Structure 1
Amino acid sequence: MARSLRGMTATALAKSAAVTPEWLSKVERNRTTPSDELVGRLAKSLDFPEEFFYRDPAPLPSSEAFHFRASSKLAQKDESAARSLASLASELSEWMDRTYELPTPGIPEIQELADADVDAGPDIAAGALRNFWGLGTAPVSNMVGLLESKGARVFSVSGNYQAIDAFSFRHGRSSIVFLNPSKSAERLRFDLAHELGHLVLHGGSLYEEDSKLRERQANDFASAFLMPRAGILGSLRGNITLADLTRLRDTWKVSAMATTVRLHQLNLISDWHYRQMCQELAKRGFRRSEPGSTLISESSSLWAQILNDLREDGLGFPYLANLIGVRASDIRALLVGLVPLAINGGATQPTRGAGKLHVVSSS
C-alpha cells in the first residue's frame, strides 16, 4: 500500500532499503516478518512514519463496491494507488463519523427510489433521484454541497496520480467520491454527477462484463441529472446557435461539449447540426477547456468546517495524519482543490469531544 501511494516499484524499494526483491516479495505476501530495523529502512525509503507499518491492515474497498473508471492508458499501478487512496479516505471517513454529527447518508440505489423501475434507464433514474431529493428542474447550484448534504465524502486525487480519473465507492452507509482537481469547474461537476450515476445505477460492480456500457450509462445519468429535459426545454429560445451553447453552459454549469451532447440526446438538434457544433467547438478549444467561463470550482463545506474546528484547537493536518499513520502531506493531497490548504497546527492529540457539523446546500 505504501509503495503504491508513492508510485514506487518493488525493485526500486528493495534497492533503496538494501534488501533483495525476493525478500521484499515475501514480506508483502506475508511470508516473512521484517525486523524493527528493516521496518525503519523501509519507512525511510517510502517516506512513511514507522507507525504506519504496525497498524492493523487498512480495509480496502471490495471489487463489488468500487467504481473505477477503466482506461486503456491506465496501468495496474494506478488502480492499486486508487485503492490505497480509497483506504486512507475510508479511515478518515470513519473518524469523521466518530467525531462529528454528520448528515444522514442519503444516496439511494435505483431499487430504493420511489416509483423507479429496477431496470430504469439512466434518464429515468436521474429524474427519479431529482424527485426523490425534491430538486425540481432547476440547475443544481453546487454539486459538492449537494452530495455532502446527502452524506457523501469528497476527496481529491492529485500529484503523482494525474492518470487517475474520478472514482467512487460505498463504505458502510457512506459514499466516497474522488475527483481529479486538474479539470475545469464544469467538468468536475459532471464527474461528480457521473460518479453519482454509478452509485445509484450500478450497486458497485467494478468487474461487470460490459464496462463501456456502464460508463455510457453513468454519462447519460450525469447529463440527465444536471440538465433535466423540462429545464432545458424551458431555457431555449428559437434556433440553437453557438452563442446559445455558452449561455446554456453558464446556466446549467456544464461544459459546452456536454451541453451539445445533451441537446442531441433530446433531439433538439439534428445529427448534422450536432457534428457541425462539435467541430466548431473543438476548433475554439472547448475540448480541453472552457473559454470565457467564469465558473469557480466548487469547494467542500464539510472539510472547511472540520479544518476550522481543528484550527480552533490549535490542530491541523499533522493531527489528521497521526490518526492514520501517514504524513501531513498525504492529508493535504487528499484535499487539493477542495479547501484552502494554509492550515497549520501541531501534531498533539488531545481528547476530542463529538462536535456537530451541519452541511447546508442550496440546490
Structure 2
Amino acid sequence: MAPVKFGSTDIIAAYSRIRGQQRWFWANTQATDPARLRFSLAHELGHAVLHWERIADPVVVDAETEAHHFASAFLMPADEIKRQLNRVTPNLANLTRVATQWQVSVQALVMRAKQVGSLSAAEHAGVWRMLNARGLAKAALVDVHPEPPGVLASLLALHREEHGHDDAAIAEMTGLPLARLQDLMPSLFPIRQTRRLRAV
C-alpha cells in the first residue's frame, strides 16, 4: 500500500490497481477523514480478495457492492457488533461510543447495524432522520486515528539495502516513471540533488 498525493481532498480516498501479478493500493495523503480512508482501503482489500481474477470484467456489476459489504464485515465483525448494539439504545451517544471502539464512522456503523439485524428498518430510518435533523449526516463524529502504512517503506529499504536496487530499478519494477513516483510519494522517493562543479 502506497501513500499518494492525489492533489485533492474531494476525490476518492483510496483505490487499487493491478500491475502484472501484483495489486497496488493507493491511499490519498490529502484525505481529511481518516474513517473514510480506512473504510476505502478495506473496500479495496475486498476487491483484492473477491475479484482478483475478474476485476476488469465488465459483466461483474456487483463488484462495488461486494467490496463494500466486505469492508463493512472486515471492520465491523457481525457477532461483535450485534453483541454490543443489542445491549444499548441506538442513540447518538451509544452509536458514537461503539463506532469509536471499532474506529469507523457513525454512519458506517449505522449501515452495518441494519445489515446484521441490530437495527430494524424503522430504527435505521429514525437514526438517519436524527442525524439529518442535527446536520450530522456527513459529519465526522468519531476521532479515528490514522494508520500510516509501514510495509512499503520496509520493502523499499529491503530492495535498496539488501538487493542494491536504486530508485530507477524500483521504478521499472512498479511500471511507473521515477518522476511520477517522486511526485506521488516524495517522502519515499526524494529528488536527489546533483552536485554542480564550480570553476576555480
Q: Per-residue deviation at 1:227? A: 0.8
Q: Per-residue deviation at 1:323? A: 5.6
Alpha-carbon distance in 1 for matches of 2:139, 2:83: 27
Alpha-carbon distance in 2 for matches of 1:172, 1:322: 16
Q: 1:198 to 1:267 in 2, by over 3 A?
A: same
Superposition map of 1:154-193 within 5 A: 154-156=2-4, 158-159=6-7, 163-164=11-12, 166-181=14-29, 182-193=31-42
User: Which one of the candidate residues 46, 60, 83 is aligned to 1:197?
Assistant: 46
Determine helix, strand or coil for the equivalent of 1:208.
Answer: coil
Judge conservation of contact 1:311–1:344 (CA < 8 Å) in 2: no
Could you tell me the percent identity over the aligned residues? 31
Q: Which residue of 1 aligns with 2:72?
A: 223
Q: Per-residue deviation at 1:166? A: 2.9
Q: CA RMSD, aligned part only?
A: 3.3
Q: Per-residue deviation at 1:215? A: 1.2
Q: Per-residue deviation at 1:308? A: 7.0
| Structure 1 residue 214 corresponds to structure 2 residue 102 | no
User: Which one of the candidate residues 144, 157, 167 is aligned to 1:320?
Assistant: 167
Q: Which residue of 1 aligns with 2:198?
A: none
Q: 1:164 to 1:251 in 2, by over 3 A?
A: closer
Superposition map of 1:1-363 within 5 A: 153-156=1-4, 158-159=6-7, 163-164=11-12, 166-181=14-29, 182-203=31-52, 204-211=54-61, 213-236=62-85, 237-291=87-141, 293-305=142-154, 320=167, 324=171, 325-327=177-179, 330-335=180-185, 341=187, 346=192
TM-score normalised to structure 1 length: 0.43
Alpha-carbon distance in 2 for matches of 1:246, 1:201: 30
TM-score normalised to structure 2 length: 0.72
Q: 1:166 to 1:219 in 2, by over 3 A?
A: same
Q: Tell me which amino acid in the other structure corresponds to 2:26.
A: F
Alpha-carbon distance in 2 for matches of 1:210, 1:322: 36
Larger radius of gyration: 1
Judge conservation of contact 1:311–1:345 (CA < 8 Å) in 2: no
Number of residue-to-residue matches in the alignment: 182
